[in-house]
Amino acid sequence: MRPLDPRLLRYAAAARTFFCVGVVLGIVRTAATLAFCWLLSQAIVGAIAGQSLFELFPGILLLAGTGILRAGTLLAMDVASARGAATVKSQLRGKLMIGLARLGPGWLSTRNRVDVVTTAGPGLDALDGYFSLFLPQLILTAIATPLVITAIFLQDVMSGILVVIALPLIPVFMILIGLATQSVQRRQWVVLAQLSRSFLDVVSGLATLKIFGRQHRQATRIAALTEDYRVETMKVLRLSFVSGFALELIGSLSVALVAVSVGLRLIDGSLGLAVGLFVLLLTPEAFLPLRQVGTNYHAAADGIAAAEDVFEILDAAHCVAPEPPRTVGTARTLQARDLRFARVSVHYDARVAVDRFSAVIRAGRITVIAGPSGSGKSSLVAALLGFVPFDGQIEVAGAIGSDRSCGTLDRRALTAWAGQSSALLEGTIAENVALGDGEPDAALVRGALALAALPQLDPQSRVTVTGSGLSGGQAERVSVARAIYRGLTRYCPVLVFDEPSAALDCHAEAELLRGMRTLADAGYTVLIVSHRPAVIAAADDLIELGVAVHV
């Protein structure tokens, strides 16, 4: 884990602003520290020399002013850190959402979604410690330490040499401690991700566990994972305390080395009292920022680890070239369009999911793509929507794409799609159906539900992300209704449904197919991926992957 990843400055503009403010405040604070130490040494020497309070008063006034200025820079840095952390977290989360949307479900299916959620949630929240404790000290180390050492050298070369000799000991121990911390911290992060995954799985399947009386076994498992997380956290804390003690000890011994040298030379008269006091006051300031960097590294480690995970996702999304936005000619009436596949191939690493597939999906007809599991049915849909890279060409209403990053926006604008899983949000059924519509049309929401064989559902009924209040088949049909609503409101000529009746009984499936027929008769290009006999029987055109095409 790098203390400062350059990608943070690239992906979060607020981080650059924070660093600029931090540098300015660091310079002001260092200047105030130098002035404070100089004025304090002069006041002490003057008092020893017998100066009156009246003579010392101007210096004491300046000393108070520099002290207030130094405290003010500390307060300003705290405020800048809090605001910088909040803004950076917001920017990274926003870019993470954009990156995940660009990568698409095809990429997300290869990752554990709970890990992604943990990274975007509590992981990025750990950046608070990174910005409030670690980065300010890192900035001070880069600014204050060289300036303070320079000031010591100008006053006393011998003390400057001793500081330069002792100072590298702290980074050496920091590196050794960091190497020991990295594996322990990563292990803690892995255990937290496992705990999050297990808890989410239990919550999702709690109803089933209760039915079969298995809920208590899962409680034991969660307790065991919680104990593992506690153990790993205590390991990190122990290492943190030991490393803090080691750094403090090294810093104290280094300051003591300079103090002994200054004291001996004060005794033999080779060093003046004013210079000796100034050097003694400045020496801890030369070591302090670097010591604080090492001490606060543990507080920032969680944020650094989560930020690295975010940067990996953003780097992957950056490799997917974005398309410039184009206007696709939104019509006020539906214009029937064919969907064409020309020698489309989809590869997953070394595995070929689809090999040179060509077909014309005609408007006003129901076309079913069938085939055994793994034959590439869903991969074709993913290629159409731009979720996976592909070779060949896909054309929708003249919008031709030759890979994932060419023509994707046009194809998506002309396509409404419902996937295999029902992705519901907390809210009403109407909000789920009209997702993304700023001004939902209540009549079209009811019409979409009717076409999805759900006329009996109240659009104002509330559902949860797990579909609480709906059966599995109803939750699937709400997703189908969402795609139909998009097609109706945005005049998308192509409607794609991936296994829409997988969880339905025969009666509900027949009702859904009647809705599909109504859409096809209205001029829509209806493409259904399914292996269900009733769906295949209702098809106008049937494409069986791996065998001859039947029309």
Answer yes or no: are the C-beta atoms of 310 and 92 closer than 8 Å: yes
Give the pLDDT score at 116. 79
Number of structural domains the chain divides into? 2
Does residue 228 surpass a pLDDT of 70? yes
Whether residue 271 has pLDDT greater than 80: yes
Check whether residue 67 and residue 149 sit in a common domain: yes
Calculate the average pLDDT of the chain. Answer: 82
How far is it, in rounded angstroms, from Cα 72 to Cα 69? Answer: 5
- Are 268 and 299 members of one domain? yes
Angle between helices 377-385 and 53-108 (to 10 degrees): 130
**526 in any annotated domain:** yes
pLDDT 10s digits, 96-109: 888 887 777 767 76
Query: Which phi and psi angles does 149 have, rounded to 5°?
Result: -65, -40
Q: How far apart are CA 103 and CA 59, in angstroms?
A: 63
What pLDDT does residue 349 have?
A: 72
Residue 182 pLDDT:
66
For residue 325, tell me if it sits in a domain.
Answer: no
Mean pLDDT check: name the lowest of 242-251, 278-287, 431-440.
Answer: 242-251
Angle at 411 between CA 410 and CA 413, to 5 degrees: 65
* Cα distance between residue 13 and residue 92, in whole Å: 10
CATH of the domain at 94: 1.20.1560.10
pLDDT of 207 higher than 80: no
In a domain, residue 180? The reply is yes
pLDDT at position 325: 45
pLDDT bin (cut points 50, 70, 90) of residue 252 is confident
The pLDDT score that the predictor gives to residue 496 is 93
Q: Do residues 162 and 307 both lie within one domain?
A: yes
104-136 tens-digit pLDDT: 776 776 776 667 777 788 778 878 888 888 888
Residue 357, domain member (yes or no): yes
Task: Indicate if the pLDDT at residue 1 is higher than 60.
Answer: no
pLDDT higher for 239 or 278? 278
The first and second tokens of residue 458, run together, are: 């109240």
Pick the residue with more confidence: 176 or 67? 67
Please give the average per-residue pLDDT across 304-317, as a whole number.
81
- My answer on whether 312 and 351 are in the same domain is no
pLDDT of residue 38: 92
Q: What is the distance between the alpha carbons of residues 459 and 432, in angstroms, rounded to a whole number?
A: 9
Question: Does residue 432 sit within a domain?
Answer: yes
Q: Among residues 316, 350, 383, which one ends one of the domains?
A: 316
Q: 239 and 127, same structural domain?
A: yes
Q: In what order do the strands lie in the sheet with 541-544?
A: 415-418, 494-498, 525-529, 366-370, 541-544
> For the segment 501-537, what is each residue's pLDDT rounded down to a tens digit?
887 889 999 999 999 999 999 999 999 999 889 999 9
310 pLDDT above the threshold of 90 = no
Distances 16 to 63, 178, 310, 339 between C-alpha atoms, Å = 33, 25, 18, 47
Stretch 445-451: mean pLDDT: 93
- The percentage of the chain sitting over the pLDDT mark of 90, rounded to a whole number, equals 22
What is the pTM for the complete model shown? Answer: 0.64
Domain boundary among 316, 351, 383: 316
Strands 391-396 and 339-348: antiparallel
| pLDDT value for 27 | 93
Give tens-digit pLDDT for 457-488.
889 988 887 777 788 788 889 999 999 999 99
If one counts every other C-beta atom within 10 angstroms of the C-beta of residue 283, the result is 27
- Same domain? 247 vs 394: no
Q: Given a cut of 70, is residue 359 above it in pLDDT? A: yes
Q: Is residue 50 part of a domain?
A: yes
pLDDT of residue 400: 54
Banded pLDDT at 326 (limits 50, 70, 90): very low
332: in domain: no
CA nearest 341: which of 391, 273, 412? 391
Region 202-229 average pLDDT: 76
Same domain, 305 and 433: no
Q: Which structural domain, as residue segments, surrounds residue 51? A: 6-316
Same domain, 362 and 222: no
376: left (phi over 0), alpha (psi -120 to 50) or beta: left
Buried/exposed 466-485: b ≥16 CB within 10 Å, e otherwise: bbeebeebbbbbbbbbbbbb
Can you read off the two tokens belonging to residue 189? 């992060």
Predicted pLDDT at 549:
39
Note the pLDDT of residue 192.
73
Residues 526, 390, single domain; the answer is: yes
Number of helical H runs and strand E runs in the chain? 19, 11
Whether residue 53 has pLDDT greater than 70: yes
Q: Are residues 185 and 71 in the same domain?
A: yes
Residue 550 lies in a domain: no
Residues 286 and 386 in one domain: no
Instruction: Decide: 324 and 262 in contact? Cβ < 8 Å.
Output: no
Q: Are residues 128 and 182 in the same domain?
A: yes
* Percent of the chain scoring above 70 in pLDDT: 87
Q: Is the pLDDT of residue 175 over 90?
A: no
Q: Which is more confidently placed, 513 or 327?
A: 513
* CATH number where 490 lies: 3.40.50.300
Query: For the segment 22-52, what is each residue's pLDDT rounded down to a tens digit?
Result: 999 999 999 999 999 999 999 998 888 888 8
Instruction: Please state the rounded mean pLDDT for residues 252-259.
Output: 85
Domain boundary among 316, 331, 356: 316
Does the pLDDT of residue 329 top 50, yes or no?
A: no
CA angle 102, 104, 108 (to 5 degrees): 125
Q: Give the pLDDT band of residue 330 (cuts 50, 70, 90).
A: very low
CA angle at 358 for the pair 355 and 363, rounded to the nearest 5°: 140
